[in-house]
Amino acid sequence: MPCDYIECFVSEQRHRRCSARVISRCWPEGAPLEHQHVPKKSQGGRRAEAVLCNAHHGSCDSALRYNGRRLGNRIDTEPGEPLDKRTYVIFDRDTREVLVEEELGVLP
């Protein structure tokens, strides 16, 4: 079933799983998934770029500790590359270590 959120740019495959599941388990397991806006919706972000469980969503948006890390997220682009070379990144706000990288689809 396709997403009906008009500003959703998450592929159907990525829509079925939490993007942060590779760094820590989602809690609770089977938690509902939420659109992640980058930047945050309250900061003017309109495009949903990822899908996260509600625990990871809150951690990335509010820099709350999750498994001992303060998570953040951003969209990276390769210098000199067209804008369709975009990557969704989850990182540790304290060490700046990149924890998750997911290639995003082409900008419409």
What is the DSSP secondary-structure string of 25-90? --SSTTPPEEEEESS-GGGT---EEEEEEHHHHHHHHHT-EETTEEEEEEEEE-TTS-TT-EEEEE
Convert the pLDDT of each residue in 59-88 to its tens digit: 888 877 777 888 899 988 877 766 567 889
Assign 100 a pLDDT band (cuts: 50, 70, 90): very high
Residue length, the chain? 108
Q: How far is CA 55 from CA 7, 31, 36, 41, in A?
A: 22, 8, 12, 17
Assign 29 a pLDDT band (cuts: 50, 70, 90): low
Q: What is the pTM of this model?
A: 0.81
